[in-house]
Structure 1
Amino acid sequence: MTDDLAERVESVLAVDAGQFEAQAAADAEVIKRELGDGTFDNHQSIIGLEYEFYAVSNAQRYANGDEPTYALTRVPRRMLELMGFEKELGLHNAEMTTSPQPLSAHGLRAQEAEVRARLQAALDCASAEGMRLVSDGMWTIPPTGETAEEYLTSSVSDDGVRLATNMSDSMRYHAMANSESAPESFTLEAPHVSLDADTVMPEALITSIQPHYQVSHAVDLPFFFNYALRAAGPLLALGVNSPFFPADLYDDDASTEDILEDGWEEHRIAVFETVLNSGGHEKVTFPEDLDTIEDAVERVAVDSTLVPMSVERGDRFDDEFATLRRKHGTYWRWVRPVFDGGSRSSANARIEFRPIAGQPTVRDSVAFQAAFAGLMERLPRQDHPVIDLPWEDAEENFYAAMRDGLDADLSWIDEDGDEVGGVDMYQDLLVHARDGLRLAGCSEEEANYYLEPLRKRVETGVTPAAWKRARVREHLDDGAEFEDALHAMQREYVEQQSETLLEGSFSDWF
């Protein structure tokens, strides 16, 4: 298997970079032409969701007396096939992608029902193998008998090809460690954490949800996109869920108080940025505003290529720009445009919203999907004044939210044109998300149902990251060492989720 994988990586590395870039540029012109012809236009907005999980051991193995370990575990590839889930970066990952639905009351119900139905089936499948899928922002208990550092940095060299031991056979990620432009090491950096690896495997620490919003008229995508950038910071602050790394990744000289005092609320952002931006590449960034739809296409075309990969072209519509689609696979931005469609009738221009970590429950995840869709439906159509918030302030909002969650001092302009923050900001944000859902056909009761989990966070000031911090502090106050406190919190997280993932919400936890 390793030999076969190494051969495939070598075949990727043999692709001529100049030809790849030239074909990507030609594909960009195809998309621009089709945009001009209206091919990517649709009669209504469409929504979708990518939902990532990691697997933990749910077998009857116990540590510290009578508590299950819930240690990270690898998912057999045959099990992913049985689940109908997709592989992600790490062998412990599984990803669900929902079927696109119209943004409407029926469409939102269909999204939520599909997630629950497929996830229940996946949980049953995993349980039979002594596993459980966890919806979270970052895992903190490494596999039994391994440290997190060992799991993330383990690799082998097969005839000069470097392969991460615990990475799925995702060619682009394996090839990144072997390309001519590969850095000497891929370095994860965060407060009191620095990890060097010879592959991008440290990125497998994190999991996310990614709502999609497909615009009706492709030419309008930049206007919607720029609103999405301004909503990114506040929504990120509501969703923070990765305040801790596995204990063994912290620097030896970092005290428990250092970790608690200096740590951020959403380290997932730093993991993705520092690992994949290693070596001076700027692949993961908060993107700048868009002026035209052609600019959106061109940004993908001129983005630096880490790994040129061969592309097979067939008879599908999107095969006409297959190389650009391949290049888009490493166009990592926290908000990014997508041009897709297997046929002209299904061609679409959409926005992927990527800042939100995996959430404690399905209802909380769908709340973010609904909030983002509602904001996209309402803010541009109202010409909401927050579009006048300078891009630099939107960027600062994003990283402030990463650091401090709901305690961050964020900038917002409300519907009256006044600069507001805090509760007033979220009041304006959630009112317009509700109104957007009402425009899409939801009743007031339905719109409030979808957004209630986020309102609860504003009212209580409790995010998943805050909950985790409080649990760790509680165990420390009871005399636990940091690693024990961290693991106790993580086990409690999994146990709470086992009772609420499908039918409850995060607010049931406190």
Structure 2
Amino acid sequence: MSDDLAERVQDVLAVDADEFEAQAKADAEVVKRELREGTFDNHQSIIGLEYEFYAVSDGRWSVNGEGTNALMRVPRRLLELMGFEKELGLHNAEMTTSPQPLNPHGLRAQSSEVRARLSAALDCAGSEGMRLVSDGMWTIPPVGETATEYLTDSISDKRVRLATNMSGSVRYHAMANGPTAPPSRTLEAPHVTLEADTVMPESLITSIQPHYQVSHAVDLPLFFNYALRAAGPLLALGVNSPFFPADLYDDDATPDEILADGWDENRIAVFETVLNAGDHEKVRFPNDLGTVEDAVDRVADDSTMVPMSVTRGDRFDDEFATLRRKHGTYWRWVRPVFDGATRSSANARIEFRPIAAQPTVRDSLAFQAAFAGLMERLPRQEHPAINIEWETAKENFYTAMREGPHGDIHWLDADGDAVAGAELYEDLLVHARDGLRLAGCSEEQANYYLEPLRKRVETGVTPADWKRHRVRDHLDDGADFETALQEMQREYVEKQSETLLEGAFSDWF
């Protein structure tokens, strides 16, 4: 870490928090005025996607396979060559697609852009002996290090605590050094407890984040509240992080206990327990929205972890730059977004954050299509799912985190009848399909986008299930837990290398 990073963190910590809060509230009034004037209306639905990856060794230079698929740090110059963005950890890389209209051409453009850019990135990474992996959580630490060492290693520079393996983002480093920062953060999950003095353990996890831009900003609360009802069922189909790196488990935890007690989507627990520390509850299942102005006020009123100064330029969204900065640490599993470089591109959208990165691109894009289809159809139909109590929607979400689609998840179908299991997903996916049809897709096109999710319903197998089965098989063959876990992970990467760009998860079994 350089002196420059420590100095930049110190500069951030010197920002007056009260002044920052006051400016954020003033910016909120700007956004609410523009909302009343219709600036954020666009009269069409727009979709986008954020897609995170982590890097591992491809094993070409390993001896007897040792170190194959171990976590690797991505050189910053390589990220620039790939056209990807840095994320929290040095092993992370993120792609953000260009927003497109929700229609057959826009969906195809999203698919083509992801595949084109990822294909080029894989070639670029391959020259460095590494591979980008689409997954919910990494489990094989870098060669010569334990996961605990990698996640907790830090230094003190000018009395600033810096995580050794974190990217150079001032915002992330400042979280460990602010006046309200706790002395340590604790990652907690069944049979796992990890203490760290930075937010670096959050870099265990990777996700996809579909965006849906509403046509009329005043309608955002209705779409948002439907998204909360759909969050649990969609999360259940996407579970993909049932295991931590082996050395993070408690010494006295047996393989049978880990398999029996572990959750299907530990990514949820990692994000919540690491960042909800001290006086801040930053990551949670959000409450229903009443008005679009409420959405703006929630961001302005959210507790401030890092009051960073902003530079205001000539862009439209520079008129509320401090509020946008504050939104950067406004983490909810579903969250509203207001931005736009120009008045003509100003937009109000919903960012859907529960889904882990999936085994293949097609599976990841299936969630983008399903979410967009549901947003297009459910509000227009006045689907009875909106009558699901908020407390039930929240419980659905955390049941899905723990048990995937095998848990007791509640839904109301188009007739208002309570359904669960296969009936739930029949209703959900039919309406996702109908939403894509409303957006101009043929029935064949809509079914193609959603087929990976239908396969999961039909087979009863999620990526988390696949991982559990493979670990159990290796244990039954006599492997110890760490070996079983790493063999599973290597099989995951190997199968993904054959199917990431063109196949689907259902091809794996």
TM range (shorter): over 0.9
**Pairwise CA distance, 1:59:** 3.6
**Paired residue type of 2:496:** Q
Q: Is the aligned partner of 1:41 residue 2:11?
A: no
Corresponding residue of 1:60: 60
Whether the 8 Å contact between 1:237 and 1:402 is mirrored in structure 2 is yes
Q: Is the aligned partner of 1:384 residue 2:383?
A: yes
Mapping of residues 79-94 of structure 1, within 5 Å: 79-94=78-93
CA distance in 2, matches of 1:67, 1:282: 41
**Pairwise CA distance, 1:253:** 1.0
Corresponding residue of 1:360: 359
The CA deviation string for residues 352-396 of structure 1, in whole angstroms up to 9 with x for no partner, is: 000000100000000000000000000000000000000000000
**Paired residue type of 1:489:** M
Corresponding residue of 2:447: 448
Whether the 8 Å contact between 2:180 and 2:279 is mirrored in structure 1 is no
Whether the 8 Å contact between 1:16 and 1:308 is mirrored in structure 2 is yes
Whether the 8 Å contact between 1:164 and 1:201 is mirrored in structure 2 is yes
CA distance in 2, matches of 1:150, 1:285: 28
Q: Is the aligned partner of 1:166 residue 2:173?
A: no
Whether the 8 Å contact between 1:12 and 1:309 is mirrored in structure 2 is yes
The CA deviation string for residues 33-86 of structure 1, in whole angstroms up to 9 with x for no partner, is: 0000000000200000000000001142446x4576210000000000000000
The CA deviation string for residues 412-467 of structure 1, in whole angstroms up to 9 with x for no partner, is: 00000100000000000000000000000000000000000000000001000000
CA distance in 2, matches of 1:402, 1:503: 28
**Pairwise CA distance, 1:258:** 1.0
Mean Cα deviation higher: 18-27 or 65-74:
65-74
CA distance in 1, matches of 2:195, 2:66: 33
Corresponding residue of 2:29: 29
Secondary structure class of the residue paired with 1:69: coil
Corresponding residue of 2:72: 73
Corresponding residue of 1:238: 237
CA distance in 2, matches of 1:97, 1:489: 29
Corresponding residue of 1:4: 4
CA distance in 2, matches of 1:290, 1:171: 32
Whether the 8 Å contact between 2:139 and 2:246 is mirrored in structure 1 is yes
**Pairwise CA distance, 1:488:** 0.1
CA distance in 2, matches of 1:169, 1:411: 43
Q: Is the aligned partner of 1:139 residue 2:170?
A: no
Whether the 8 Å contact between 1:135 and 1:361 is mirrored in structure 2 is yes
Whether the 8 Å contact between 1:15 and 1:309 is mirrored in structure 2 is yes
**Paired residue type of 1:54:** Y
Residues 328 and 66 of structure 1, relative CA distance in 2, 3 Å threshold: closer
CA distance in 1, matches of 2:413, 2:123: 46
Whether the 8 Å contact between 1:371 and 1:430 is mirrored in structure 2 is yes
CA distance in 1, matches of 2:430, 2:438: 12
Whether the 8 Å contact between 1:339 and 1:348 is mirrored in structure 2 is yes
Secondary structure class of the residue paired with 1:41: coil
**Pairwise CA distance, 1:227:** 0.1
**Pairwise CA distance, 1:211:** 0.2
Corresponding residue of 2:259: 260
CA distance in 2, matches of 1:274, 1:305: 17
Corresponding residue of 1:479: 478
The CA deviation string for residues 179-201 of structure 1, in whole angstroms up to 9 with x for no partner, is: 00001101100000000000000
Corresponding residue of 1:466: 465
Corresponding residue of 1:404: 403
Structure 1 residues not aligned, in runs of 5+: none
**Paired residue type of 2:293:** E
Identity of aligned residues (%): 81
**Pairwise CA distance, 1:212:** 0.1
Corresponding residue of 2:315: 316
Corresponding residue of 1:296: 295
Alpha-carbon RMSD: 0.8
The CA deviation string for residues 230-280 of structure 1, in whole angstroms up to 9 with x for no partner, is: 000000000000000000000111111111110000000000000000224
Corresponding residue of 1:434: 433
Whether the 8 Å contact between 1:375 and 1:432 is mirrored in structure 2 is yes
Secondary structure class of the residue paired with 1:425: helix
CA distance in 2, matches of 1:155, 1:67: 27
Whether the 8 Å contact between 2:295 and 2:336 is mirrored in structure 1 is yes
**Paired residue type of 2:309:** S
CA distance in 2, matches of 1:91, 1:381: 43
**Pairwise CA distance, 1:406:** 1.3
Residues 68 and 175 of structure 1, relative CA distance in 2, 3 Å threshold: closer
Whether the 8 Å contact between 1:68 and 1:491 is mirrored in structure 2 is no
CA distance in 2, matches of 1:507, 1:406: 16
**Paired residue type of 1:432:** H
**Paired residue type of 1:488:** E
Whether the 8 Å contact between 1:389 and 1:413 is mirrored in structure 2 is yes
Corresponding residue of 2:202: 203
CA distance in 2, matches of 1:129, 1:177: 32
Q: Is the aligned partner of 1:271 residue 2:257?
A: no
Secondary structure class of the residue paired with 1:211: strand
Equivalent residues, number: 509
CA distance in 2, matches of 1:431, 1:12: 49
CA distance in 2, matches of 1:274, 1:344: 38
CA distance in 1, matches of 2:111, 2:60: 31
Whether the 8 Å contact between 2:362 and 2:502 is mirrored in structure 1 is yes
Q: Is the aligned partner of 1:13 residue 2:2?
A: no
CA distance in 1, matches of 2:303, 2:2: 29
TM-score (norm 1): 0.99
Corresponding residue of 1:330: 329
**Paired residue type of 1:49:** L
Secondary structure class of the residue paired with 2:143: coil
Whether the 8 Å contact between 1:139 and 1:206 is mirrored in structure 2 is yes
CA distance in 2, matches of 1:44, 1:371: 18
CA distance in 2, matches of 1:280, 1:250: 27
Mapping of residues 419-430 of structure 1, within 5 Å: 419-430=418-429
TM-score (norm 2): 0.99
**Paired residue type of 2:271:** F
CA distance in 2, matches of 1:299, 1:145: 45
Structure 2 residues not aligned, in runs of 5+: none
Whether the 8 Å contact between 1:13 and 1:179 is mirrored in structure 2 is yes
Whether the 8 Å contact between 1:48 and 1:99 is mirrored in structure 2 is yes
Secondary structure class of the residue paired with 1:480: coil
